[in-house]
Amino acid sequence: MPPPMRHRSMRIFMNGDRHVMAKHSAVYPTQEELESVQNMVSHTERALKAVSDWLDKQEKGTCKSESDCTEADKDSEQKDPATRTLRGVMRVGLVAKGLLLKGDLDLELVLLCRDKPTVTLLKKVSENLVTQLKTFTEDKYVVTQNIREASIIIKNTKELPLTLTIHLTSPLVREEVEKTSTGDTLSVIDPPDVLDRHKCLTALASLRHAKWFQARANGLRSCVIVIRILRDLCTRVPTWSPLRGWPMELICEKAIGTGNRPMGAGEALRRVLECLASGILMADGIYDPCEKEPTDAIGHLDQQQREDITASAQHALRLSAFGQLHKVLGMDPLPSKMPKKTRSDTPIDYTVQIPPSTTYAPPMKRPIEDEEGTDDKSPNKKKKKLQKKTGEEKAEPPQAMNALMRLNQLKPGLQYKLVSQTGPVHVPVFTMAVEVDGKNFEASGPSKRTAKLHVAVKVLQDMGLPTGVELKSEPTVK
C-alpha cells in the first residue's frame, strides 16, 4: 500500500504569520502620515468641485443680476455630471487601493473631462485651483503645471513633503482609439492644443485598475497585506523591481484568489512565492483583465528578468521552508515565544487606509460586500454583533472625553458641523469640523460623537494644552 499522504504542517504557516505581520506593522504608515494624506486629498477634491462650478459659470457667461446668479448656482448644482466640463475626480494608484507604505509621498488623482483635455483647460483648472484651495484650507500648497505629462502637480509645504498629481483625461480618447482600430473614419477634428493621447490613455487605464482592485482584491483575506509586503520587497531587492505595481497586484490576486480556503498572511505569501517559483513568468505571460484586446501585463519584462525573478522566488521559498522567512522579509528573527500584549493594545484595521470620499466623484456601483448577507433573518442580532466587535469606541471616550470637556470649559458654545459621511453602511466614517478663533479643525471617526472627540483633541493640541491622552502613558514610565 502507498504511504499515507502527509498534510503540510500548520506550524510553518503560524510562524510565517508572525513574521509577516511583524514586518507589515513595520512598513505600515503612521497615523500622522495617513492623516496628512487624507487632508491633502480631501482638500484637493473639494477645490476641484469648486473649480468645476466656476467653469460652468464661465461657459454660461456672467450673470446680469443677483437673482440670475442664484438661479445659475442652483442649475450648476443640479446639472448632470455628464454635461459638466469636469465630470468628476477619482482616486487611483496607492491611495485608491490602500497600498501606501511608510515613506510613500506620491499620490494620484484622475480628473475626468467631458471633452478631450487641452492645454487651455489645464491652465484654467490650475490657475483657479490655487484660488479655491485658499478658500478651503489654511494649509499652503504649491500648484504647478506639467503639460508634457498632461497633469497638475500639487505639493504641500509641511514637514511631510507630499506630492499629489492630477492627471487630466477623457473617455473620448479611448473611444477614438477603438474607432481607429476598427477602421472607422473620425468626423471630429481635435483642437490644436490637445494634450498627449498616450498620457490620457494611461490615466484611463489606472482608473480601470483601481476599480478592478476594489472589486476583486480588497475582498480577499490577506491579499492586501501580502501586496504591501511584496511592494517593500520590490523596493529593497532590485531583482524584483520590474514586477512593482500592476503586475504584482495581478499575480497576488490570482494566486490567493484561486485557493480553496481563506489563508493567513504567511500561507498567502508562501502561495504567491510558489506560483512565481513554478515558472509562470516564463510562460505566455499574464493576461490583463482591464483591457479589451489580449494584453500581457508583464510584456515589458525581458527573458533575463523573468529568469532572475523565478530563481529569486525559488530561493525565497527554500528559506521559508527552513524557517528563515525573516531573511526574505529583511528583518531580524522573532523570539520563539512572543510576549503577551497588554489589554490596552487596540487592534489596527489594516484593510482601509484612507476612507472613501463622495465629495466630487461619478456614481459608483454598490460594493459586493454590501450585497452579501442580505438574507439574514435576524438583522438586529447582526447589528448587536457589530457593535460588540468595534472596541474603538470603548477605548477612546475615556481619554478623548476629557478633551471635549476641557474644550467646552475653555470655549463654551462651539458649533460642531458634519462635513461628510463616507464609507459603507455598516462601517460609516463621519467627519466633523469646528471653528475656533478663526481656525477650522476637522477629524474623522466611526460615529459623530467620536469624531467630535477627535476634533477636540486637535484643538487642544493646537492650543498647547493637555488633552488627556498623555495620562494613559505616564504610569507606565518607570
Better-scored residue on pLDDT, 383 or 333: 333
Q: What is the C-alpha separation between 79 and 56, in angstroms, rounded? A: 10
pLDDT more than 70, % of the chain = 76
Q: What is the C-alpha separation between 48 and 81, in angstroms, rounded? A: 13
Q: What is the C-alpha separation between 337 and 361, in angstroms, rounded? A: 48
Residues of the chain within CATH 3.30.160.20 domain(s) are: 404-463
Least confident of 110-114, 346-350, 414-418, 427-431: 346-350
Rg (CA), the chain: 25
The DSSP output letter for 363 is P
Better-scored residue on pLDDT, 218 or 273: 273
Q: What is the mean pLDDT of residues 168-182?
A: 85
User: CA of 223: how far to CAs of 55, 159, 264, 272, 328, in Å?
Assistant: 41, 32, 9, 10, 18
Q: What is the mean pLDDT of residues 289-300?
A: 92
Tell me how crowded residue 83 is: count the other CB atoms within 10 A of its CB: 9
Instruction: Give yes or no for residue 440 having a pLDDT over 80.
Output: yes
Instruction: Give yes or no for residue 21 having a pLDDT over 90.
Output: yes
pLDDT number for residue 395: 44
The answer to whether 379 and 446 have CB atoms below 8 angstroms apart is: no
Tell me how crowded residue 82 is: count the other CB atoms within 10 A of its CB: 10
Q: What is the mean pLDDT of residues 169-173?
A: 93
CATH of 33-59+81-218, one of 1.10.287.610, 3.30.460.10, 3.40.109.10, 2.40.160.10: 3.30.460.10
For residue 420, what is its C-alpha cell? 461628510
CATH of 238-329, one of 3.10.330.20, 1.10.1410.40, 3.90.1300.10, 1.10.40.30: 1.10.1410.40
pLDDT number for residue 64: 44
Residues of the chain within CATH 3.30.460.10 domain(s) are: 33-59+81-218
CATH topology of domain 404-463: Double Stranded RNA Binding Domain (3.30.160)
Q: What is the mean pLDDT of residues 55-75?
A: 59
pLDDT number for residue 422: 85
pLDDT digits (tens, 9 = 90+) for 205-215: 999 999 999 99
pLDDT digits (tens, 9 = 90+) for 128-164: 999 999 998 888 999 999 999 999 999 998 888 999 9
pLDDT more than 90, % of the chain = 50
φ/ψ of residue 109, rounded to 5? -135, 155
The answer to whether 242 and 301 have CB atoms below 8 angstroms apart is: yes
Q: What is the mean pLDDT of residues 82-107?
A: 91
Angle, alpha carbons 57-59-358 (nearest 5°): 55
SS3 100: coil
Q: What is the C-alpha separation between 72 and 78, in angstroms, rounded? A: 10
pLDDT digits (tens, 9 = 90+) for 390-413: 444 444 444 434 578 788 878 887
pLDDT digits (tens, 9 = 90+) for 231-269: 999 999 999 999 999 999 999 999 999 988 889 999 999
Residues of the chain within CATH 1.10.1410.40 domain(s) are: 238-329
pLDDT number for residue 397: 42
Q: Say what the pTM is.
A: 0.69
Better-scored residue on pLDDT, 381 or 461: 461
The answer to whether 118 and 191 have CB atoms below 8 angstroms apart is: yes
pLDDT number for residue 79: 54
Q: What is the mean pLDDT of residues 29-50?
A: 93
Q: What is the C-alpha separation between 198 and 150, in angstroms, rounded? A: 10
With bands split at pLDDT 50, 70 and 90, how would you rate the model's confidence at 476? very low
Q: How many residues does the chain have?
A: 478
Least confident of 281-290, 437-446, 469-478: 469-478
Give the alpha-carbon dihedral of 45, 51, 55, 58, to 10 degrees. Answer: 160
pLDDT digits (tens, 9 = 90+) for 345-390: 555 666 667 776 656 666 555 444 444 444 444 445 444 444 544 4
387: amino acid identity, one letter: Q
Least confident of 226-230, 360-364, 422-426: 360-364
The strand pairing partners of 296, in sequence order, are 287
Q: What mean pLDDT value characterizes the chain?
A: 81
With bands split at pLDDT 50, 70 and 90, how would you rate the model's confidence at 337? low
For residue 262, what is its C-alpha cell? 481563506
SS3 64: coil
The answer to whether 135 and 122 have CB atoms below 8 angstroms apart is: no
Better-scored residue on pLDDT, 472 or 325: 325
